[in-house]
Amino acid sequence: MPLLPVSTIRTSSALTTQRLLFQLNADQLELQRQYDQLSTGRRVLRLSDDAAAANRAIGLHRGIDRGDQLVRNANSTASFYKAADDALSRVDNALIEARGAAVEGAQTVVSEDERAALATTIEQAINSVFASGNAMFRDHQLLGGFLNSGNAFHYEGKDIVFSGSNAIGKTALGSGRPSEINVSGNESLGTYSIFLEGDPLNAALDANSRLVDLRQGKGVTPGAIRLSGGNNWIELDLRSASTIGDVADLLSDVKLENRELVATLTNDGIRVEYADGLPGTLAIADTLGGHMAEELAISNPQGLQAPPLIGDRLSPRVTPETKISDLDGGAGLDLSDGFQIQQGDRFFTIDLDEAETLSDILIAINRSGADIHAELNETEGRIRLRSLRSGVDYSVGENGGDAARNLGLRSATEETLLSDLGRGRGLVLNATGPDLLIARPDGIVLDLDLNGAETVDDVIQMIRNHPLNQDTLRVLVDLNDIGNGLQVKAPPGAQSLSIRQVGLSDAGIRLGLVTPGTNETNGTIIGAVDTIVGVDYAPRDAGGALDTLLRMKDAVRYGDIPEIERLQAKLDVDLDRASRSRGQIGVWTRNLEQLKGVAEDTVVQLKSQLSDEIDADLATVISNMQQRQAALEASMRIIGQTSQLTVLNFL
């Protein structure tokens, strides 16, 4: 540690005193710094102490803070997992108890009192699942949607309505993707199930179709292409294009060999040719590393194909912004009559008069008052309908037109399989002889043997093509104009139009033409026609554990053994779903522990590195402090000696 030299030449007293006081001050400051290091244990207390070490320490502090936050996140998430596991455990137990009651209820020798007791057991299971579905932790729903602070399920009469969401909370537990905090009601309880997914809507190409939406969502990557009329090549930069209309406009501005190009759009592609319509060479190729011409299907690098070059199968992805006029391959859809949704015994008419886009259709459904959520499956271009009310049947039919069919949403059509009728139980047919007898008003009877029929359309064709049904008084059969089901019509006569199922057959009931509990239905005069209006032959369950339990309670109470057997299979699916969700939480918990351990180890390592950067070595500090004390004492001695004012000392 340096000491300022004592002047040995004649200097002024003021300069000598200043030099000595500077040395004394420096010794005192350095000694104070050693005291500070000794008392705090830190070598770097401010940036000026060691700028490089302080900068590294700031970065290490950030890492430590992040690690500490990850540990806090892990501790909080572990609590969520524990609460969710407890809720799902109650769901598992409730479903197992309900399954046992259903097995007993499927017996034929069960008294009414026993059935009532079994139904009460299932009702307790419903209450347990209901309570678990509304379970909360730290003001968040565990199964009813994250950030939902109210009950996700509530009773409306005998039904249970879901008003939560499928929202999943996520948090950072490491450097990878955020981890889920909760499971949704759909994953764990089957709530918010898809009861109907429509047919693909097939949108046509228009000028506003985005390049990223083409080729069923695979997209077209904008780039540069080369064009030639047979001699020189020119390069066209299409990187600024965002829609297929932009591509067509830019291509239409090109001249090759003094001939103008024109690009037009087809329903599913782009057509490139010379504006004069004459033949010639038209070569189009991608630049090095580009794929745009190939993806647009207009690549013709050798010019071997004569114009026009027609790229097809661009098939734009269906989005909420897709226009109704662009659907059905560009033919558009007639939705003027709207369609009808039946929910239990309630009917809702969806008015689509002012709908212009798919988004308008989704909004109209979601605002109809029905307990349904409509969404678009953009990957496949289908409308999905999710159920929000458990314990009721759903049906989507017409309102006098073809809107439901055009949207692919009619839930019961001619293509419905007979094996799917009766909620998947199919038909019971007679081994020999007819299954249905249709008596026309003029007395002619049509006998129908449904053996070999596979779809509802097969039954319709049997009636239409029956040898005794080819005259002017023939029976007409078709799907209902309003709602779903079949309608059978015939000109009025001396008798009433009737349909009767024969023997052991239940075809009339399953097809919705005969009222359950009876074997025959008679027509009524509607307008000037004798008509039998059937009911929906393919209603849809809402789906989910609560829906299954509500149906099971009624089936057990009233001794509907076929329904109990059907619901037992659904109950097994519900139990498997809840168990898988619980197992998923177990996997998450194990992964959480591993990530928490990694975060804790990282924090320890960073703190060790931080200590190396800013902590003081006490042995070194003590040694330096002793040296500074000696230096300070020496400085004070020198000051004392030089401060004597005799002439002898001065000389």
Per-residue model confidence as pLDDT tens digits over 181-193: 889 889 999 999 9
Per-residue buried b or exposed e for 181-213, using 16+ beta carbons within 10 Å of the residue's own CB: bbbbbbbbbbbbbebbebbebbbbbbebbbbbb
Residue 650 has pLDDT above 60, yes or no: no
For 468-479, write each residue's pLDDT tens digit.
999 999 999 999
| pLDDT at residue 120, rounded to an integer | 94
Structure tokens that stand for 595 in this block: 């990530």
Q: Which residue has the higher pLDDT, 494 or 590?
A: 590
For 156-169, write each residue's pLDDT tens digit.
999 999 998 888 88
Read off the pLDDT band of 249 (50, 70, 90): very high
Class of domain 63-193+546-600: mainly alpha
**Average pLDDT score over residue span 93-114:** 91
| pLDDT at residue 395, rounded to an integer | 96
Average pLDDT, the chain: 89
| pLDDT at residue 115, rounded to an integer | 92
Distance (Å, whole) CA 573 – CA 563: 16
Distance (Å, whole) CA 114 – CA 103: 13
Instruction: Kindly report the backbone phi and psi dihedral angles of residue 13, in degrees, each rounded to the nearest multiple of 5, phi listed first.
Output: -65, -35
Highest-pLDDT range among 45-49, 68-72, 543-547, 624-628: 543-547
| pLDDT at residue 129, rounded to an integer | 95
Residue 203 has pLDDT above 90, yes or no: no
Read off the pLDDT band of 177 (50, 70, 90): confident
Residue 649 has pLDDT above 60, yes or no: no
Instruction: Kindly report the backbone phi and psi dihedral angles of residue 79, in degrees, each rounded to the nearest multiple of 5, phi listed first.
Output: -65, -40
| β partners of residue 265 | 270
Instruction: Kindly report the backbone phi and psi dihedral angles of residue 517, in degrees, each rounded to the nearest multiple of 5, phi listed first.
Output: 95, -10
For 65-98, write each residue's pLDDT tens digit.
988 998 999 998 999 999 999 999 999 999 999 9
Q: Where are the domains of the chain?
A: 13-41+616-650, 63-193+546-600, 211-311, 324-406, 418-538
Q: Which residue has the tokens 């006029």?
A: 325
Q: Which residue has the higher pLDDT, 644 or 159?
A: 159
Q: Calculate ∠ Cα 259-260-264, nearest 5°.
A: 140
Read off the pLDDT band of 643 (50, 70, 90): low
Burial class (CB in 10 A: 0-12, 13-18, 19+), 73: buried
Residue 6 has pLDDT above 90, yes or no: no
As a whole number of Å, the CA-based R_g of the chain is 41
Read off the pLDDT band of 626 (50, 70, 90): confident
